Structure 1
């Protein structure tokens, strides 16, 4: 019997609402329904009834509730005792977007090494769609990536930070101070993150308003993308924190535009069936570190 399903049952029973439980557990209502259905199927009884007046416990549900609460309390006490006395050992596989790796990986890994000295961290960098698939396929355990609205219901997700973006280019490629329109931007070679990423979709929609959208050249490496732009190969829309050094050095210049580009939002994620406390601890530390200006 999965403790997650029991915990979800307790939450629905106490709140009297599948919707309210989904909000508090930061997941979707269908995911809540699936957990309750799995628990009912395992026990062979109906636990909850839903009608226009709300959600009510059945007689069997009322009978189960105190036992479920005792089991969850024992589980939490056990985890607390173990985490206090015995440091976690083993390994954790982490996937991270190249942008976040470029900005934060050194600080994150130093912090994790200090807090979890017996854990081996296995790091890989990739695009959000691939990281989501790797999470679902148990190829990685934790991800730091660009937020994606299509994240599956079996993945726990939380927002990390949002960064403003701006268009940049080599000083040799552009000299005008007049704000540029979308059509003006389309006269330059465009360099972006790979196809099917959120930045690529944003540019695809932006330029689709034109009769002749420009070709968008893609690159998966932030370091290589910056080098291409600095060498005048094209222009790019990038998060401003990535650009602080090249802008201050003058190897890149900011292009003023008529439209303010959308911010790029990042998130953390792990599988909901992972009962370890470590992914949540890494999420909390990542959130704290990435809020530092």
Structure 2
């Protein structure tokens, strides 16, 4: 059984988890990745090796003879990799430049904490930061214009990128207390459509959601877009329109009464975010940044 240089340790780690847990679903929870992502990694490994590693049927997931043969080698390779990473972290600080793209929502909420932590952990790295919408960030990753991205999760994932879940936030409709909608007990789609709506740029996931949401109406709303979260919040507070935003962006304004939450017929979906880098980037740093990003967003750094 021959291994090629293109085989990824990430796929081997996924294989080990599925083999140990006996379930693609359990492995997806353990690795904080979607089940389709787990399946894709196993398929990639099977194609690389030219053998079937698991059999899946109504009774569950069973490892094949080829899989059983591979498992101890995969565990050895992963152990060596982890030992190497530990040695690198301890003895050789990362150097160079890291070009990072970040969705403006995440920048508004987390950039200060992220950069502070990254500076402490990687004092010899220069960070070049840019904020943009996800389609642009994904294109910049593919074109080698940035090295790492924190962005809105998309359903279509280029095969050249590593993309894994990061966090997700509930969304809510907000307006000023002076808005005519503030007097409504429950706002219908027609009610919302009577007021200008402020949103993220065209072709972003929130923009597409609004297009789908209001498509049944004969008279769609006027939608103004803005790429800056700070400017978007100011426009809402000045009464220019209403908006559907991730709740953490407006929590403080809701507490002070500067904005109010509008109750609607349907609960808006959560907005999911992910981290990503190129498969051909063999550096350790993207994985270190990914791990720290998830840890900070789950357990915020104080100060």
TM-score between the two structures when normalised by the length of structure 2: 0.79
Shift of 1:263: 1.5
Alignment of 1:131-146 (within 5 A): 131-146=137-152
> Which residue of 2 is the match for residue 194 of structure 1?
201
> Which residue of 2 is the match for residue 109 of structure 1?
115
> Which residue of 2 is the match for residue 171 of structure 1?
177
From 136, 152, 156, give the equivalent of 1:150: 156
In structure 2, runs of 5+ residues without a counterpart are none
For residues 119-145 of structure 1, the C-alpha deviation after alignment (integer angstroms, 9 at most, x for no partner) is 111111011111112222222121111
From 220, 231, 239, give the equivalent of 1:224: 231
Distance in structure 2 (CA, Å) of the matches to 1:265 and 1:197: 12
> Which residue of 2 is the match for residue 248 of structure 1?
255
Distance in structure 1 (CA, Å) of the matches to 2:266 and 2:156: 26
> Which residue of 1 is the match for residue 101 of structure 2?
95
From 129, 134, 157, give the equivalent of 1:128: 134
Using the TM superposition, name which of 265-274 and 28-37 deviates more: 28-37
Distance in structure 2 (CA, Å) of the matches to 1:256 and 1:67: 56
Distance in structure 2 (CA, Å) of the matches to 1:144 and 1:184: 34
For residues 213-249 of structure 1, the C-alpha deviation after alignment (integer angstroms, 9 at most, x for no partner) is 1232211111111111111111101111111232233
Tell me whether 1:262 sits opposite 2:269 in the alignment.
yes
CA contact (8 A) 1:162 1:263 kept: yes
From 267, 274, 291, give the equivalent of 1:284: 291
> Which residue of 2 is the match for residue 239 of structure 1?
246
Compared CA separation, residues 260 and 250, structure 1 to 2 (3 A): same
> Which residue of 2 is the match for residue 4 of structure 1?
7
Shift of 1:148: 1.2
Compared CA separation, residues 150 and 163, structure 1 to 2 (3 A): same
Compared CA separation, residues 222 and 6, structure 1 to 2 (3 A): closer
Shift of 1:11: 6.8
Distance in structure 2 (CA, Å) of the matches to 1:77 and 1:282: 18
* Structure having the higher Rg: 1
> Which residue of 2 is the match for residue 43 of structure 1?
none
Tell me whether 1:85 sits opposite 2:88 in the alignment.
no
Q: Give me the CA root mean square deviation.
A: 3.4
- Number of aligned pairs? 285
In structure 1, runs of 5+ residues without a counterpart are 41-45
TM-score between the two structures when normalised by the length of structure 1: 0.81
Distance in structure 2 (CA, Å) of the matches to 1:32 and 1:20: 10
Distance in structure 2 (CA, Å) of the matches to 1:99 and 1:6: 31
Compared CA separation, residues 67 and 208, structure 1 to 2 (3 A): closer
Compared CA separation, residues 264 and 49, structure 1 to 2 (3 A): closer
For residues 6-34 of structure 1, the C-alpha deviation after alignment (integer angstroms, 9 at most, x for no partner) is 77479769949xx9599688536455545
Using the TM superposition, name which of 221-230 and 80-89 deviates more: 80-89
